[in-house]
Amino acid sequence: MNLNLGTVTSPPRNEGASVLRAKDCLRAALEQPRRQGLTIGLVPTMGYLHEGHLSLLRAASAECDVVVMSLFVNPAQFGPGEDLERYPRDEERDLRLASEAGVDFVYAPAVEEVYPDGFATVVEISGDLTGVLDGDPARRGPEHFRGVTTVVAKLFNTVAPDVAYFGQKDAQQATVIRRMARDLDFPVRIEVLPTVREPDGLAMSSRNAYLSPEDRRRAAALSRALRTAERTALEETLQAGLAAGQRELAADGIEPEYLEARDADSLQPVAELDGRPVLIAVAARVGAARLIDNVLIRP
C-alpha cells in the first residue's frame, strides 16, 4: 500500500499488503493513518492461514480503516519438546490470502527483531488465569502464556491498534489478553470472534495439518463431545454433561488432557450452571496433533 502524504483518505484496499520486517518501518508506515484519525485493526497470527484467521482479517477490514496482520511464529510460547521447528509455514500463501482479505500491512519480523540479543523482559499474568487448563504445569505450563502476553504486549506497543482481533477457539488466550490489556491500560478494544469449523465440526487450526486421514476422522469427536456436554448440561447437570462428553471422546479412543468446566471470565472451576457464562474446554492429543476446543454456555 502506498499512502499519498497529501491526501486525507482511507488507504486503498486493492494494491496488496505491504510486507514490513522491522518495527521501526511499521511504526513509520502507520504514522500518517494515525495522524488522519483512521482506525487501526490488528490481527496477530503465526501464519499458515486458514478460514478462522481469514474471518478475523475480514472483520478487521470491514470495521477498520487500516489492517495490520502480524506473521510471526513466536518461539517464546513453545515449550521444550513442542512443535516449534515443525510448525507449518507457507509465507507466500499467507501473503496472498492476507491481501485478498483486505490486509494493508503484514508485519513479518525475524526472531531477532522481536527478541534482540540481551532481551530480558516478560509480561506475566497471575496463575489464576494462566496456571489452569493449558497453563497447568503438567500441560503446557504458565510459561506458554508468558510467551503469548509478552509478544502481544510488544505488538500492541508497536502497532498501537484501536482494535485487536482473536478467535474463540483460543478462549483461555483471549481471556488472558483481555486481562493484560485491562491491567496495563492498553487503549485497545479486544474483539473475540466465533470459532470457525469444518463441516463435521472440527475447529479449524493450523495444527490440523498434522492429522492423518484416520486421525482427522477421529478428531471430529472433540466438537461432538463439546456439543454433547453442552446439551446434557442444559438438560440435566453440568457434571452429567462432562461425563457425557468424556464418553463421546472414549468412543473414538481419545483420552483428553482435560475436559473441564470453568467460569468464562475468571477461569475458576464451576460445579453447576448458576446463570454466569460457563466455558467447557477440551484438549487432547489425536495422532501427531495436540488440539484444543471449547464451547461457551450462556444459560
Q: DSSP readout, 137-192?
A: TTTT-HHHHHHHHHHHHHHHHHH--SEEEEEGGGHHHHHHHHHHHHHTT---EEEE
Is 53 an annotated catalytic residue? yes
CATH number of 206-297: 3.30.1300.10
pLDDT at 295 over 70: yes
Mean pLDDT (whole number) for 38-61? 98
| Residue 219 DSSP one-character state | H
Is 50 buried (19+), middle (13-18) or exposed (0-12) by CB count in 10 A?
Answer: middle
- The model's confidence at residue 3, banded by pLDDT at 50, 70 and 90, is very low
pLDDT at 10 over 50: no
- The model's confidence at residue 13, banded by pLDDT at 50, 70 and 90, is low
pLDDT at 7 over 80: no
262: region left, alpha or beta (phi > 0 left; psi from -120 to 50 alpha): beta
* Three-point CA angle 249, 80, 118, nearest 5°: 140
- How far is it, in rounded angstroms, from Cα 50 to Cα 54? 6
Mean pLDDT (whole number) for 222-248? 98
Is 282 buried (19+), middle (13-18) or exposed (0-12) by CB count in 10 A?
Answer: buried
- How far is it, in rounded angstroms, from Cα 234 to Cα 242? 11
Where do the CATH 3.30.1300.10 domains begin and end in the chain?
206-297
46: region left, alpha or beta (phi > 0 left; psi from -120 to 50 alpha): alpha
Catalytic residue selected from 41, 53, 170, 228: 53
Structure-block grid coordinates of residue 87: 510448525
Q: At the topology level of CATH, where does 18-193 sit?
A: Rossmann fold (3.40.50)
Structure-block grid coordinates of residue 207: 495444527
Residue 66 or residue 3, greater confidence: 66
Cα dihedral value 39, 45, 48, 54, nearest 10: -40
Where do the CATH 3.40.50.620 domains begin and end in the chain?
18-193
* Short-list 114, 116, 105, CA closest to 43: 105
- The string of pLDDT tens digits covering residues 261-282 is 999 999 999 999 999 999 999 9
Mean pLDDT (whole number) for 103-113? 98
- How far is it, in rounded angstroms, from Cα 264 to Cα 276? 8
- How far is it, in rounded angstroms, from Cα 64 to Cα 57? 10
Q: What is the DSSP string of 270-295?
A: -SS--SS-EEEEEEEEETTEEEEEEE
pLDDT at 8 over 50: no
pLDDT at 26 over 80: yes
pLDDT at 1 over 70: no
The phi, psi pair for 130, rounded to 5°, reads -105, -5
- The model's confidence at residue 4, banded by pLDDT at 50, 70 and 90, is very low
On average, the pLDDT of the chain sits at 94
- How far is it, in rounded angstroms, from Cα 273 to Cα 276? 7
pLDDT of residue 126: 87
CB 186 within 8 A of CB 156: yes
pLDDT of residue 299: 76
- How far is it, in rounded angstroms, from Cα 143 to Cα 140? 8
- How far is it, in rounded angstroms, from Cα 152 to Cα 70? 10
